[in-house]
Amino acid sequence: MKFQTTAILVSFKSNKIIENSIKKINNTAYIVIIENSKNRDLKQLEKKYKNLKVIFNKNSGFGTAANIGARLVKTKYMLFISPDTLIEKNGIQKIENISKEFDNFGILLPTEDKYKLKKNKKITEPIGSPLMFFEKNKFKKFGGFDEKYFLYYEDIDLQNRFIKKNQKVIKINVFFKHLYGSHDKKFNFEIEINRNWHYMWSRFYYIKKNYSFFYALICTLPTFLRSLIKLILYFLISKKKYFIYKARFLGLINSYFGKKSWYRPSIK
């Protein structure tokens, strides 16, 4: 069977949830999973779904893995979709049909089901999204994801790049359910540490990249000070919250000094 779209899923400890997303895609697209945790169990999915391929990758973040997936795409279109996201029935076909309505679109963004959209809407400011639909050639033309991000803001950064190039970024009347958590729940605490570290690193880096160092410093300084105060406070009363705010504090410090987003979750 020949498809127009390849769905790319970046996985990290997602084996308990990812098949729910795959079932929603079903036989409407090729599927490529870039597995960042080297979980060999996912290889079994290739036997179950003939339109699916699993690629194992050293964990260097979402952007790097997504770009690896994009380089494997042979279809006209590609859809980046989070493993904790369930697209509506025949959603990919609906997106393909909508894409034909727009002349020279840049990115199409399906809408979360709790935010009902009456009609397609062009956006002028980037928004976080677990699904993004591109023409393959245009994605490559504009450089793909910035691989300096390990986690967070890479989707916003790419949308911002498209908007600056006068490319249409459009919220569309195709819906998905977001489960907000693609990893195995037994890793919750370490994943939470990782998220807080990288969210703060990425936020400063994004603002610095798109505006200036000093503007980024002004925007993040209140968060830096709050994190420092709570870091000291929770050291005395809550070890878990202490490590969360330590991660936020250190993520910002590393970003301030121009260090790479080096932190990795210590999960085996």
Residue 251 has pLDDT above 90, yes or no: yes
Separation between Cα atoms, residue 63 and residue 83, nearest integer Å: 15
Domain check: are 209 and 160 in the same one? no
Domain endpoint, select from 136, 163, 178: 178
Q: Classify residue 48: in a domain, yes or no.
A: yes
Q: Classify residue 265: in a domain, yes or no.
A: no
What backbone phi and psi angles, to 5 degrees, belong to 160?
-60, -40
pLDDT digits (tens, 9 = 90+) for 220-238: 999 999 999 999 999 989 9
- Over pLDDT 70: what percentage of the chain? 97
Domain check: are 205 and 109 in the same one? no
Counting Cα atoms < 13 Å in the Cβ hemisphere of 99 gives 22
Alpha helices in the chain (DSSP H): 18-25, 45-48, 62-71, 91-99, 136-141, 154-164, 188-210, 213-237, 239-256
pLDDT of residue 15: 83
Residue 148 has pLDDT above 90, yes or no: yes
Residue 79 has pLDDT above 80, yes or no: yes
Beta-ladder partners of 105: 168
Domain check: are 37 and 102 in the same one? yes
- Mean pLDDT score, 56-78: 95
Domain check: are 120 and 233 in the same one? no
Residue 37 has pLDDT above 90, yes or no: no
- Mean pLDDT score, 239-257: 96
- Highest mean pLDDT range out of 14-18, 34-38, 226-230? 226-230
pLDDT of residue 95: 97
pTM as predicted = 0.93
Domain check: are 146 and 252 in the same one? no
Q: Specify the residue for token string 């986690």.
A: 151
pLDDT of residue 115: 87
- Least confident range of 68-72, 258-262, 263-267: 263-267
The number of domains in the chain is 2
Residue 118 has pLDDT above 90, yes or no: no
pLDDT of residue 266: 78
Residue 186 has pLDDT above 80, yes or no: no
- Over pLDDT 90: what percentage of the chain? 82
pLDDT of residue 243: 95
- The parent domain of residue 215 ranges over 185-256
Q: Classify residue 266: in a domain, yes or no.
A: no
